[in-house]
Amino acid sequence: MDNMLEQKNNRSRYRLERQSLPEALAESLRERILSGEFKEGDPLIQEAIAAEYDCSRMPVREAFRQLEAAGLIVFKIHKGAIVSTLPSEQIMEFFELRAMLECDILSRSLECLSDEDLAQSEQILKRLEDAYHKRIIARVGALNWEFHRSLYRPAERVQTLAILEGINVHIDRYIRIQLVLTSAFEEAEREHRTILSMCKDRDPEVVEFMRGHIIRAGHNLVHALDNRRVSDATS
């Protein structure tokens, strides 16, 4: 009995909470950055954030470190934490990296995709289309990546998927901006449907179609973002 009690106490000693306060703060601030509430170059003041969330500055500092690691904020001397700004060239570089990696992993995955895999991809796509139709921008980025990832997972390229997920974090807020500025929902929906159909047919041409899909999205985003930045600078 004593041994059982001791084992129980040891287990409880190492039990982790599902989400710590810094993680919850980081997730909340991340969504506010991605949604555009905090814009490029906006300062994030520790004291103000702590007061807003009714907590001490320590979890805010840890949350800031997580956001910095994700590339969403940077620290500037004499300025503290500010929302990061990606030059258009770097945004396009991310899309070019996506095209290179996603086309490679899709070519490896194509012959491995089962009917069950494709049925799951279709269900995800339906949820993404629902978010398009209802203009639920906050869900679009995550569902877009979930759809793409579902087509790549059978390739079992763990490191490639991890890199692609990191890229998705960097560009998620810009994809949301693009959808708001260009209303590109219909084009995205049409191209995703084509990609899924070609995958169902195991059509190897889907790899080049995917490349065009990603590169076009990158160019459209950079064009819309450049126009917005010029407008913001002159307003």
pLDDT of residue 183: 66
Q: Which of 81-85, 98-102, 197-201 has the lowest mean pLDDT?
A: 81-85
Where residue 72 sits, what CATH number does that domain have? 1.10.10.10
Residues 78 and 168 in one domain: no
> If you count DSSP H runs as helices and E runs as strands, how many of each does the chain have, helices first?
10, 3
Segment 125-148 shows an average pLDDT of 90
Return the amino acid letter for 231.
Answer: S
Do 140 and 53 fall within a single domain?
no
Which residues in 197-206 are b (16+ Cβ under 10 Å) and which e? ebbeeeeeeb
Residue 150 has pLDDT above 60, yes or no: yes
Q: What is the pLDDT of residue 149?
A: 97
Pair (38, 98) in one structural domain: no
In sequence order, the 6+-apart residues with CB closer than 8 A to the CB of 178 are 184, 217, 220, 221, 224, 225
Q: How confident is the model at residue 15 (pLDDT cuts 50, 70, 90)?
A: very low
| Structural domain count, the chain | 2
Percentage of the residues of the chain whose pLDDT score is greater than 70: 89
pLDDT at 74: 92
CATH of the domain at 184: 1.20.120.530
How many residues comprise the chain? 235
Residue 205 is classified by DSSP as T
Does 25 share its domain with 116?
no
Among residues 60, 83, 106, the one where a domain terminates is 83
Tell me what the mean pLDDT of segment 82-91 comes to.
89
Q: In this structure, what are the phi and psi dihedrals at residue 151, rounded to the nearest 5 degrees? A: -80, -20
pLDDT at 235: 67
Last residue of a domain, one of 49, 83, 117: 83
How far apart, in Å, are the Cα atoms of 223 and each of 9, 56, 228, 234? 59, 41, 9, 17
**Residue 202 is which amino acid?**
R
SS3 content of the chain, % helix, strand, coil (to 5): 75, 5, 20
Q: What's the mean pLDDT in 192-221?
A: 96
Rounded mean pLDDT of 221-229? Answer: 83
Domain enclosing residue 76, as ranges: 2-83
Lowest-confidence pick of 105-109, 180-184, 215-219, 228-232: 180-184
Mean pLDDT is lowest, of 78-82, 177-181, 204-208, for 177-181
Could you tell me what percent of the chain has a pLDDT over 90?
56
More confident residue, 62 or 3: 62
Give the model's pLDDT for residue 205: 98
User: DSSP letter at 72?
Assistant: S
Report how far residue 219's alpha carbon sits from residue 222's, in angstroms, rounded to the nearest whole number.
5
DSSP secondary structure letters along 211-229 = HHHHHHHHHHHHHHHHHHH
Distance, C-alpha 218 to centroid of its chain: 15
DSSP 50: H
- Domain boundary pick from 27, 50, 83: 83
Mean pLDDT (the chain, rounded): 87
12 pLDDT higher than 90: no
> Are residues 140 and 176 in contact, defined by beta-carbon separation less than 8 angstroms?
yes
193 and 98 within one domain: yes
My answer on whether 58 and 139 are in the same domain is: no
Assign 204 to helix, strand or coil.
coil
Query: Which of 87-91, 116-120, 155-159, 199-203 is predicted with the least confidence, judged by mean pLDDT?
Result: 87-91
Q: Are residues 102 and 184 in the same domain?
A: yes
β 73-76/43-44 pair status: unpaired
How far, in Å, CA of 39 to CA of 36, rounded?
5
